[in-house]
Structure 1
């Protein structure tokens, strides 16, 4: 898209390759002021309002308001149809609304728009840009680290999708979460208990990428470390109260302290 190209329309030829009926495209090469849409969105079956709202939002620059009032000011449709369109787009993964805590503790809602459902969160800030421009602005993502993962932990993470089909994890996400799961296992928590803690009481709507939610639960609900086993070693000699002076001394059994035994031995008569 960076190349300067002619904007002259390409006329459809009247040769044998042209269709006899149906649409015939007269295409123009755009070099500015255009938006790239995937066919999955442009050819989406259902409401034309939903497709139109999505195309309009994707054409807006970052920071533009897409509140219902702003969209109603642009379209003729009412609030109900605009709201329904936004809900459909969110359910299908075209946009994501997050409630976050902004500067000064103020609660704000940020909306991330995706030009392809299933894109990673790393792509979210530039989701409205053309793919070529986004590749120029962002570095290439690193491959999955070549680390040895605990097979027990990966098995637990792989089982989560059977409990909730939304909990499908990528290879990278599994590699990121596995060490925390392994720590739970090392602390004596069984696989079933871990899966129960990670999947119980999930909200009706969760992020398109559930790894963040799972990571939060693994950290917030992390079980305490097991108590350290007492170190082995000789038992100390017990304290005794001297039968002569009532002074405390250490000895394996009750009796007299060393001083009292010495005095007793000194006072004893010598035997010829």
Structure 2
């Protein structure tokens, strides 16, 4: 059966000016009347940007002012994952298309603005202030007519030498308009923290951690680990168990909300075992300090004279008996 020909495509090819090439792409250019974005070839054919970065730049350039262009916002619109989007944004920032600048609002609050420039090289050229027209060139004075033989030139005073001009000062180079806050992809990365280790990997802890990791795929099927991964992750799980963490709580923290698709479950477990390690449980002395009452209660005492109860740190007499004893002592001294 013959291949069906698209009539509209055949008609459009017939309208392409010039002879059609025998290989390579053939452009059918139709004018846009609405919903279009102008993209420069310096971006579309950038030799150092990846196709993901170029496509992400076109997506950002087509969005309206104030649209969210964070990693999570772009990941919700695009099919690429957050890691690829973050790498593409770092490429755009390294080549000047994307900048993150800090600005202070009139209220004093400091915010971070994301700025996208469609022509970053144009920012390096001197520009006229906004709304100011370019200064017109000053017209050069017309040269004086040369004297002719019929009319002798009048006697003119000798021209005075021009005063020496001060050397032109070179203006200082302007400060950079944007300061990148995200390091370029070639920047050295900080070393990763090592996997936590227990104070002593006892046989009991080793068996419990091995059983926990071997049984993990029954609760989360995507966390199927190899025997080598289990042996490597046993010290990290043992450190959690040593800190009195419940196995159900450990399983929930390690397997909650994994990325889709999960390509390297062992790497994700290594990261979460290291970064989410709980603190060591408090000791007996720390718990005793928490249980110690903060308010000192004065005990009850029994008065030696009237047997009435009163609060006092030491035994003795109540207030009434003390006052009565003081009055009697005063009377006796006055009578004497």
Q: TM-score range by the shorter chain?
A: 0.3 to 0.5
The TM-score, its normalising length taken from structure 2, stands at: 0.36
Q: Which has the larger radius of gyration?
A: 2
The TM-score, its normalising length taken from structure 1, stands at: 0.44
